[in-house]
Amino acid sequence: MDPALEYHHLQSRRQFFQGAGLKVGSIALAQLLSQKALAQALPSKADIHPALPGLPNFAPKAKNLIYLHMNGAPAQQDLFDHKPQMEQFFDKELPDSVRNGQRITTMTSGQKRFPVAPSKFAFERCGQSGILMSELVPHMKGIADEVTMIKSVHTEAINHDPACTFVMTGSEVPGRPSLGSWLSYGLGSESQNLPAFVVFTPTVKNPSQALFSRMWTSGFLPSKYDGVKLRSAGDPVLYVKNPPGVSSGDRRAMLDALGQLNEKSFERFGDPETQTRIAQYEMAFRMQSSVPELTDLKGESKATLEMYGPNAQKPGTFAHSALLTRRLIERGVRVVQVLHRGWDQHGNLPKEIKNQCLDVDQPTAALIKDLKERGMLEDTLVVFGGEFGRTAYCQGKLTRESYGRDHHPRNFCMWMAGGGIKAGMTYGETDDFSYNIAENPVHLNELNATILHCMGIDHSRFTVRHQGLDQRLTGVEHVNPVKPILA
């Protein structure tokens, strides 16, 4: 090999390393400079998404993350937090001792009464573990023994926008990197042909809550750590398709010329970024075939397709997204996030939540089973939840058949499954009204610390200097991962 060229390669890799501007916790300068660390940091020629040097901090239990976000806040009382005691309080005032003067949103703060609305749905203890789930999620009952159900998650925000921003970025104020961006920044990805972090926003019948691109973008990190949306309409990845009348061969010919000309540009200016650009155009070309291959379901067995339900082959559905999620993880993508909208039931909750569950219940259960069958669940962490919970008292008209629930940040349910997490466990408890946490509270910062822990990252040392502070996903106050749920 041409020694000059070799030197350029080294330079460009070193530049890449420096350009990434590492400041990982307390890794000392000397250590960074040591040959060993440098060697680790230098991406091999094929390494498109390298990890930061020093990461993971310790052996990870999970290599990949799947985050199923139910946007709008599912009612925990109707899905997972069974409160039979509420039955006796039907249409009776929520006791003051329970509400305890806590703030409520201005949507219900004007209500004269706060009548208790017991869930109309039947609950059942499921599997060996006996985790409680309601009739709304019949398929999830089948995976109860795979999950840890956390009943005591809490957050601060009481409205959707700040709460959604918090659950995904650890801050109510926009501008921070999303969880997926943090992970792809820190851990990189094993896929050479696909982005490190992929996002789905399946379509729903009633998009009654908004999503925000800040839930999957990179905030103050470089935009290369943005989640890439896999889309159901138009190009599956933005601009992945050649224009009409341009074949893959045409593109190859154009890129061959471009590569040669950009090499000349590198000779002319000596700028290592030019080498990176050449590599990125090649990656783009590979994506032009890897993305269609990804979305082509021909190779999926009938049994698999049936397991994900009737919508498995219908682009834009949650089921289709869930199936593609498994295919992405199979191909080495680090983080997949599915954001399903429509869970904000202020009124007419029983009817609407049923529809919501019809969308997600079967595909979610199928995803867990599918991962397990393929031996992928052990190193994939799956998280299921919303941005906050809903109130025990009714918003609007209350009958046995119909009621509504307002926002409730004080406690809600999330479950986790797979790599690093105990299977078949319930953690945390709430009071008889699912209104206050009775034991083992889990703040979202602690939940995020737990996610990072499963992925081999010490969250307290995973920082980036921004606005004069070493910013971390998990906030300023010190928190710990939730040890009891770790496998």
Partner 1 sequence: MRQPIIAKLASAILLTGPAFAAPDFTRDIRPILADKCFACHGPDANTREAKLRLDTHEGATGGGSGTQAIVPGDLDNSEAWIRILSQDPDEVMPPPDSHKELSPAEKDLLKQWIIEGAAYEEHWAFIPPRKPVIPDGERSPIDFLLQRRLKSEGLAPAPLAQPETLVRRIYLDLTGLPPRPEEIDTFLVDQSPEAIERLIDNLMKRPSYGEHMARYWLDLARYADTHGLHLDNERSMWPYRDWVVRAFNQNVSFAAFTRWQLAGDLMPGATLDQKIASGFNRCNVTTGEGGSINKEWIYRNAVERTSTTVEVWMGLTAGCAVCHDHKFDPISTKEYYSMYAFFHSTADPALDGNKLDTPPVIKVPAAGSQVKLAELETTIENLGKGITEKIRAVDYKDPAVLAEPPSSTNKTIIWIEDGPPSKAVASGNTPWKFVTRPEPVFTGERAHVREAKGLSQHYFTEANPPLLIERGMTLFTHVYLDPENPPAQLMLQFNDGSWEHRAYWGKDLIDWGTQNTASRQRIGDLPAVGQWVRLEVDIARVGLKPGSKLNGWAFTQFDGKVFWDQSGGRVETNPASDPSFSWTAWKAQNENESNKALPGELQKVVKGKDPAQWSESETQRIFHHWLEHIYAGEIAGLKLLQDQRTKAVQEKDAISKQTAVTFVMADLPKQRDSFVMKRGEYDNPGEKVTRSVPAFLPPLPAKPEGRDYNRLDLANWLVNGKNPLTARVAVNRFWQQFFGIGLVKTSADFGTQGEFPSHPELLDWLAINFVEEGWDIQQLVKRIMTSHAYRQSSVTSAALQEKDPENRLLARGPRHRLDAEVIRDQALNLSGLMISRIGGRGVRPYQPPNIWEPVGFASSNTRNYKQGKGDDLYRRSLYTFLKRTAPPPFMATFDGPNREQSCAIRGRSNTPMQALHLMNDVQHVEAARALAQRILKEGGTNAEDRIRWGWRLVTARYPSREESQIVLTALQTHRNRYLGDPEAATKLIAFGDSPPDPDIPPSQLAAWTLIANLLLNLDEVVNKN
Report the site for partner 1 in 432-461 (rule: CB under 8 A): 460-461
Residue 15 interacts with partner 1 (CB under 8 A)? yes
Residue 36 interacts with partner 1 (CB under 8 A)? no
Residue 486: beta bridge partners? Answer: 421
Size of the residue set binding partner 1 (CB under 8 A): 110
Task: Report which secondary-structure segment, H or E, holds 69.
Answer: strand 64-70
* Closer residue to partner 1 (CB): 56 or 174: 174
Closest CA to 247 of 289, 291, 185: 289
Residue 334 interacts with partner 1 (CB under 8 A)? no
What whole-number distance in Å separates Cα of residue 192 and Cα of residue 45? 11
Quick one: which of 84, 130, 270, 310 contacts partner 1 (CB under 8 A)? 270
Residues in 186-205 at the binding interface with partner 1, rule: CB under 8 A: 195, 201, 203
Quick one: which of 42, 258, 438, 487 contacts partner 1 (CB under 8 A)? 258
Find the length of the chain.
487
* Closer residue to partner 1 (CB): 99 or 214: 214
Residues in 58-117 at the binding interface with partner 1, rule: CB under 8 A: 103, 105-108
Q: Cβ of residue 453: shortest distance to partner 1, in angstroms?
A: 15
Residue 243 interacts with partner 1 (CB under 8 A)? yes
Q: Cβ of residue 181: shortest distance to partner 1, in angstroms?
A: 11
Task: Report which secondary-structure segment, H or E, holds 279.
Answer: helix 272-295
What whole-number distance in Å separates Cα of residue 182 and Cα of residue 196? 11
* Closer residue to partner 1 (CB): 130 or 469: 469
- Rg, the chain, Cα only: 24
Q: Cβ of residue 18: shortest distance to partner 1, in angstroms?
A: 5
What whole-number distance in Å separates Cα of residue 12 and Cα of residue 260? 17
Residue 374 interacts with partner 1 (CB under 8 A)? no
What whole-number distance in Å separates Cα of residue 184 and Cα of residue 226? 9
Quick one: which of 34, 280, 355, 399 contacts partner 1 (CB under 8 A)? 280
* Burial track 42-63 (b if 16+ CB lie within 10 A, e otherwise): bbeeeebbbbbbbbbbeebbbb
Quick one: which of 128, 213, 355, 480 contacts partner 1 (CB under 8 A)? 213
Q: Cβ of residue 225: shortest distance to partner 1, in angstroms?
A: 8
The answer to whether 153 touches 164, Cβ cutoff 8 Å, is no
The answer to whether 299 touches 313, Cβ cutoff 8 Å, is no
* Closer residue to partner 1 (CB): 1 or 33: 33
Quick one: which of 61, 160, 327, 408 contacts partner 1 (CB under 8 A)? 160
Quick one: which of 242, 248, 289, 355 contacts partner 1 (CB under 8 A)? 242
* Burial track 165-177 (b if 16+ CB lie within 10 A, e otherwise): bbbbbbbbeeebb
What whole-number distance in Å separates Cα of residue 361 and Cα of residue 369? 13
Q: Cβ of residue 157: shortest distance to partner 1, in angstroms?
A: 10
Quick one: which of 65, 187, 228, 365 contacts partner 1 (CB under 8 A)? 228
Residue with tokens 């409520």: 104
* Closer residue to partner 1 (CB): 192 or 440: 192
Q: Which window, 23-31, 62-70, 348-356, 357-365, contacts partner 1 (CB under 8 A)?
A: 23-31
The answer to whether 392 touches 407, Cβ cutoff 8 Å, is no
Q: Which window, 30-38, 126-134, 423-431, 442-450, contacts partner 1 (CB under 8 A)?
A: 30-38
Closest CA to 419 of 462, 381, 369, 450: 381
Residue 158 interacts with partner 1 (CB under 8 A)? yes
Residue with tokens 């060697």: 39
Q: Cβ of residue 190: shortest distance to partner 1, in angstroms?
A: 16
Count Cβ atoms below 10 Å from residue 462 Cβ, excluding itself.
Answer: 24
